[in-house]
Amino acid sequence: MSRIAVTITTPDGLCSATLHTPLSAGPAVILYTDAAGVRETFAAMADRLSALGYVVLLPDGYYRTPYAPFDVATVFTVPAERERLTALGRSVPAELAVRDTGAYLDFLAGRAEVAGSAVGAVGYCLGGRFSLWAAAHFPRVAAAASFHGGNLAAADDPDSPHLVAGRIRGALHVAAARNDKAFPAEQHERLRNALVAAGVRHTLETYPAEHGFAVPDNATYDQSAEERHWTALKQLFAENLPRA
């Protein structure tokens, strides 16, 4: 298993990323980070996923906007840092996220390490939206997961993922956090209704943990919920990403 620093050519510039490869060729998975961006915690998560036999791409979704790294321990308690984080997250709307995903898929299609054409996607927090957009816009995405994703079914958002549920052909696993203001009960119900109406194969559940539960450097990290998330992710990808 190894990490390889790579550069992806997108319509908007060069995106730095790491490619996490298993010992032999395997299906590809795109890993979308939370709003605080790429950091060692997510690289370690990509390593763990790669150890299961997947070629994991961890891109810097903020490549258009150079930024100083965030201290996740304090980013939500220091107002100026929280504002900076929010602005950076808003700098990648649906149109750009989808365009980037197309470039990531093109990149993966040319890698000898990748087996098969079906691709997986997994996102956390902000990345949960990216993962669902990927599933809706690219038929190659055969399985997508969102963990403590926010604004997945906002009524006043014209780019809300639930509005493109009818385009999803793969399987979804959506794990919400309890008491999550970014994904309240009405959004949960709205997303469920959209997925059911579209006939999307899905699991939609709420873990007994707070927003950020699956990411080890978050203040709200929950080890039990993290392990539950790994179990769900293994099952989703094992059932939907053939190795040839």
Domain residue limits, the chain: 2-240
Mean pLDDT of the 205-225 span: 96
Say how far apart CA 119 and CA 29 lie, in whole Å.
6
Q: Are 119 and 30 in contact (CB under 8 A)?
A: yes
Mean pLDDT of the 86-90 span: 91
Q: What pLDDT does residue 45 have? A: 98
What are 14-64's pLDDT values in tens digits? 999 999 999 899 999 999 999 999 999 999 999 999 999 999 999 999 999
CATH 3.90.1300.10 fits 2-240, yes or no: no
Mean pLDDT of the 144-173 span: 97
pTM: 0.97
pLDDT at position 122 over 90: yes
Mean pLDDT of the 162-166 span: 98
pLDDT at position 177 over 70: yes
Q: What pLDDT does residue 238 have? A: 97
Q: What pLDDT does residue 244 have? A: 58
Q: What is the band of 168 on the pLDDT scale with cuts at 50, 70, 90?
A: very high
Buried b (16+ CB within 10 A) or exposed e, 117-129: ebbbbbbbbbbbb
Q: What is the DSSP string of 84-130?
A: HHHHHHHTS-HHHHHHHHHHHHHHHHT-TTEEEEEEEEEEETHHHHH
Tally Cβ neighbours within 10 Å of residue 238.
14
Say how far apart CA 117 and CA 140 lie, in whole Å.
7
Q: What pLDDT does residue 73 have? A: 83
Q: By C-alpha distance, which of 70, 3, 66, 67 is closest to 31?
A: 3
What are 50-71's pLDDT values in tens digits? 999 999 999 999 999 988 888 8
Q: What pLDDT does residue 29 have? A: 98
The residues with which 121 forms a beta bridge, in sequence order, are 30, 144
pLDDT at position 3 over 70: yes
Higher-pLDDT residue of 68 and 229 is: 229
| Percent of the chain clearing pLDDT 70 (strictly above) | 99
